[in-house]
């Protein structure tokens, strides 16, 4: 069983591009070293952070409650999902950093999710992302907005 926490938060107003790059480097390094699966999204337009974490319950709870919730780089943390799942949506995806700048990049992520469906988890993920405009092609076409993703 995988324990999953999915949350959204607001980046601190003083967070700049360099801080976001550091955040993604830290997440990539830490999650790879602990074999934690998931996705981390940052919308430069709205300043929202969206993250899904998957691993055993002890590891995820320790990370979320003792590190993520205390991190001053974001605030207004709202947990959307916290529950057990029989499998991981991101199990076969290597952890790396991507910047989604156009519709084609976004289609690659959607294609990955489509090809790795596990029961209803994939549809739940899509429903969670929809309110944040993650799959909204109009937003992606705006050159002022970029979506940063860690899978």
Helix (H, G, I), strand (E, B) or coil at 10: strand
| Structural domain for 68, as ranges | 2-150
Predicted pLDDT at 68: 96
List the CATH number of the domain containing 23: 3.30.70.100
Task: For residue 19, report the phi and psi dihedrals to the nearest 5 degrees.
Answer: -65, -40
In 35-116, at which residue ranges do the beta strands (DSSP E only) sit?
37-43, 48-55, 74-85, 97-100
Give the span between the Cα atoms of 140 and 106, in whole angstroms: 8
Q: Would you say residue 64 has pLDDT above 50?
A: yes
Helix (H) / strand (E) element for 94: namely none
Q: Which residues contact 145 (CB under 8 A, 6 or more apart)?
A: 43, 44, 45, 139
Say which residue, 79 or 137, is predicted with more confidence: 79
Whole-number Å distance between alpha carbons of 103 and 145: 12
Binning pLDDT at 50, 70 and 90, where does residue 60 land?
very high
The pLDDT value recorded for residue 1 is: 83
Residues 102-150: tens digit of each pLDDT: 566 666 666 655 555 554 555 655 555 555 554 443 333 333 334 444 4
Distances (CA, A) of 135 to 11, 52, 102, 126, 138: 20, 16, 11, 8, 9
What count of Cα atoms within 13 Å lies in the side-chain half-sphere of residue 27?
30
Considering only CA atoms, give the Rg of the chain.
14
Number of domains in the chain: 1
What confidence tier does 51 reach under pLDDT thresholds 50, 70, 90?
A: confident
Burial-class residue 143 by CB neighbours within 10 Å (0-12, 13-18, 19+).
Answer: exposed
């Amino acid at each position: 069983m995988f324990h999953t926490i999915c949350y959204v938060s607001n980046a601190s107003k003083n967070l700049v591009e360099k801080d976001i790059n550091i955040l993604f480097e830290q997440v990539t390094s830490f999650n790879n070293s602990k074999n934690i699966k998931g996705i981390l999204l940052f919308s430069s337009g709205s300043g929202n952070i969206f993250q899904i974490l998957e691993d055993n319950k002890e590891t995820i709870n320790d990370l979320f409650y003792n590190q993520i919730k205390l991190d001053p780089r974001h605030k207004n943390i709202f947990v959307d999902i916290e529950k057990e799942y029989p499998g991981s949506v991101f199990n076969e995806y290597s952890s790396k950093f991507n910047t989604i700048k156009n519709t084609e990049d976004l289609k690659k992520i959607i294609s990955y999710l489509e090809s790795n469906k596990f029961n209803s988890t994939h549809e739940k993920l899509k429903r969670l992302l929809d309110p944040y405009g993650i799959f909204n092609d109009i937003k992606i076409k705006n050159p002022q907005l970029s979506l940063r993703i860690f899978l």
